[in-house]
Amino acid sequence: MIKVKAKPEDFVVEEVADLPFLKDGDFCVYLLKKRGWNTVDVLKNLSKKLNLPSSDFSYGGKKDKYALTSQYITIGRQGHKRTTPPVSPPLQGGETGGVKKPPVMRRSSQFPSAVNPAEIERLIPTKLDKENYSLSFVGLMDRPMGPDLIKGNKFHIVVRNLTAHELRSALNEIECVKIDGYPNYFDDQRFGSFDGRQGFVAEKVIKKHYNGALKIYFSRIHPEDSKDEKEHRKFIYENWGNWQACITRATGRFEKEAFLYLEKHPKGFVPILQRISHEEMVLFFSAYQSHLWNEVLRKIIRSVGGDSSMLGDSKAEILRRFIPQNDTIRHSEQGEESDLKISKGIAGDYVFYTQLDDRSKAYLNTLVIPMPASNITMPDTFTETLYSEVLKENDITSPMFNIRKIRQAFFKGIDRKAVVTPEELSVDHSEDEIYQGKKKLVLDFFLPRGCFGTIFIKRIFS
């Protein structure tokens, strides 16, 4: 079995951003390097160490916990007056869950700045050491860090424990990816809040199943949870509705307050959901929105990539827009099913094509699919048909994306490319020094913001 992330240095992610530095500014910009931490937990730790409110910290995207990563964060300089920031246009493949933009804090001359880079350097390591994270001051900006400033990420990935046959196969698949790219799915990291027994929090919210949404929130089990945490969440799941029992086992202030409230107001689920932080709610909305988007892309790949019987002639009508009628078609319109590669995911399979005819390639390379939301327009009737199928299969209608009772987040129809091709791709292989007698594959490449390097790995090793 192949090994990815055998050690943190085998999976390196370096954020590439276009930062508008100034000689003076209201936000200190730092390069955060970490391993064994997720982004949010590092910032919580920094908030405590520096005695600064968490609202002073901003970042553009979350980076993998089990990797060596670097990204830019900002710390707002204290003593500010609040102003409304300009709205930055979203980039393709950006964050999917909407959230109201926080006000930008402008420094007031009446108050000194409380953020001292020299003091932070004294308290926080500048090199990766025992803390497994470091901060390096890089400059000043007049706005907080956000996803719109990120251009993409550079990846360095080492895949180990390969047989000679697996290595040869992967090298062949890489050549195919160079030509045809691969489907731009959201990977499993996006679905950390998904519960295999109960589903998605946001799905329940959309359908106004507020009881179910809250139950998932308090009882979902994550693979990284400790044994005690899993037992606790299992108890809450099995005793949901027995609020007295849940109160006796409540472990946190919010959990206890929620169960006490439900004991007095048995149907008071919405007020508790409204207390969930906007950051968590954005994650829940993003996860379900990304899942639905994946479902649409999966249908497209099964049709364009092989199973052309799904929509009969409707696909051909779309593809004729790209290639003249007399050009050669290898399989798409002749009903011949090409091989499809499948990789299992926690919230659905990842389906990959192995080759594309010219029309299918032209279509997919230009296809941009909006994230599911209430007021979106699909690029063509083919995609619109598949999108309607996904909504119907999930018992959803477009107006249901307008959530009125839960205001911490919203669904935004940001565009995302259907197919991505790794840029600046470098491939190397050699003997594996960890797994004796096996090979290792070393990949260096760049992907635009919002694209998952792990999907590339799944594509070549499915």
3-state secondary structure of 170: helix
Distance CA 51, CA 241 (A): 39
Distance CA 39, CA 56 (A): 15
pLDDT digits (tens, 9 = 90+) for 429-445: 999 999 999 999 999 99
Q: Using alpha carbons, select from 43, 38, 30, 32 the residue that is nearest to residue 115.
A: 30
3-state secondary structure of 44: helix
Q: Tokens at residue 55, please?
A: 């609202």
Instruction: Label residue 279 by pLDDT band (50, 70, 90).
Output: confident
**CB-CB contact of 82 with 106 (8 Å):** yes
Q: Which residue has the higher pLDDT, 454 or 337?
A: 454
pLDDT surpassing 60 at residue 333: no
pLDDT surpassing 60 at residue 84: no
Q: What is the mean pLDDT of residues 245-252?
A: 94
> How many Cα atoms sit within 13 Å of 29 on the Cβ side?
23
Residue type (1 letter), 430:
S
Q: What is the mean pLDDT of residues 112-137?
A: 72
Burial of 377 (0-12, 13-18, 19+ CB in 10 A): exposed
What average pLDDT is seen over the chain? 85
For the chain, which residues make up each domain, given as ranges?
Answer: 197-278
Looking at residue 339, its pLDDT comes to 74
Residues whose CB is less than 8 angstroms from the CB of residue 182 and which lie 6 or more positions away in sequence, other chains included: 352, 419, 420, 421, 455, 456, 459
Q: Which helix (H) or strand (E) holds 423?
A: strand 423-431
Distance CA 381, CA 358 (A): 20
pLDDT digits (tens, 9 = 90+) for 145-181: 999 999 999 999 999 999 999 999 999 999 999 999 9
Residues whose CB is less than 8 angstroms from the CB of residue 397 and which lie 6 or more positions away in sequence, other chains included: 391
> How many Cα atoms sit within 13 Å of 64 on the Cβ side?
25
pLDDT surpassing 50 at residue 409: yes
Distance CA 293, CA 308 (A): 20
pLDDT surpassing 50 at residue 293: yes
pLDDT digits (tens, 9 = 90+) for 182-223: 999 999 999 989 999 999 999 999 999 999 999 999 999 988
Q: What is the mean pLDDT of residues 35-61?
A: 89
